[in-house]
Structure 1
Amino acid sequence: MTIGLLAWQTRAAAKQAEVANAFAGATVLHNQTTSLREVYRVFIDHPELRPYFYGRKPCPRNQRQRDRVMTIAEMLADTLEDGLVAHHLVPASESESDWINYCRHVRANSPALEEWVQRHPGWWPKLSAL
């Protein structure tokens, strides 16, 4: 009887851990898409800014416009770094490689983001290492 109860408890604990891992993975994905949506809202309100991040458009020379682009670059870098850390810590998200590929894509297509990350590699160590 005692061995049977112990076996049942072990299976129940394993199932509970499996459910907790799946929930953690879903939470990581939800948090990242929510954070990314905040950046996308800027592009919806100001579509002229999107090419600086996805179209390889060089950073503007006009200081006011440059400040705006660099602020978005910082927001995006924070979001990308958070995602890299979260996906690494929670393998149950099962999308770490997808997120890494997305981060590489954005870095390759955004001179503004690339400049900001290279200027401050310690602020975004995982993003900088890609």
Structure 2
Amino acid sequence: MSTLIFGIIASAAAVFSILFSAWQIRQLTQQTAINNGIAAAAAINTSVERLHGIGMLIFQHPHLNRYFFHGADVPEPGEEREQVLTLAHMFADSLDYGLMIKSLAPGTSRYDCWDHYVADMFATSPAIRQVVLDHPSWWQVLAPHLPEPSPPATGPQA
């Protein structure tokens, strides 16, 4: 009889232990999801802060705005060219970082606006395109997002 009682108690303890482990796993899963969300938000915030830093530099030098948002070609050699190319490197670093975070951090993969922003920056900034084309290995996540060059227009054959 005591063996039966001991068996029932042991079985009840095993069932309780399994139920408690399941509850712990559920809590751990919820905590992991929350932590991943917080990490994703922090990573996105860092990406945006990097862009704000570049934006502040452009705000302080508004004549440079056209090279990044209005399609102006890279200026001829001189101080302004150096400023534009330096900012283009900084932009490329930030864009590459944002894309890298989007691909690595759980919870950021659906942050598609970053892809659209990268495409828009390539479309409006020959300077950013140039620095990435000149050194694609420096920005290995960003470089594959470069648009394909347009084929030359062909007129009527004579």
Q: Indicate the TM-score class for this superposition, using the shorter chain for normalisation.
A: over 0.9
Instruction: Provide the C-alpha distance between the structure 2 equivalents of 1:59 and 1:95, rounded to a whole number of angstroms.
Output: 33
**One of 19, 22, 29 as aligned partner of 2:37:** 22
Q: What is the Cα-based RMSD across aligned positions, in Å?
A: 1.1
Which residue is equivalent to 2:96? 81
Give the AA of the match of 2:38.
F
> Which aligned runs of 4 or more in structure 1 are off by greater than 6 angstroms?
none
Q: Which protein, 1 or 2, shows the higher relative CO under an 8 Å CA cutoff with sep ≥ 6? A: 1
1:116 and 2:131 correspond: yes
In structure 1, distance between residues paired with 2:110 and 2:53: 20
Contact 2:74–2:126 (8 Å) recurs in 1: yes
Q: How far is the alpha carbon of 1:94 from its aligned partner? A: 4.7
Any stretches of 5+ residues in structure 2 without a counterpart? 1-15, 146-158
* Percent of paired sites with the same residue: 31
Which residue does 2:11 correspond to in 1?
none
Aligned to 2:8: none
1:6 aligned counterpart, secondary structure: helix
Gaps of 5+ in 1: none
Report Cα offsets for 1:64-99 as digits up to 9, x if no partner. 110110000000000000111011101402544211
Tell me the TM-score normalized by structure 2.
0.79
Aligned to 1:60: 75
- Count matched residues: 130
Give 2:19's aligned residue: 4
Q: Indicate conservation of the 8 Å contact 1:88/1:96, yes or no.
A: no
Q: Which has the larger radius of gyration?
A: 2
Secondary structure class of the residue paired with 2:112: helix
The reply to whether residue 126 of structure 1 matches residue 117 of structure 2 is no
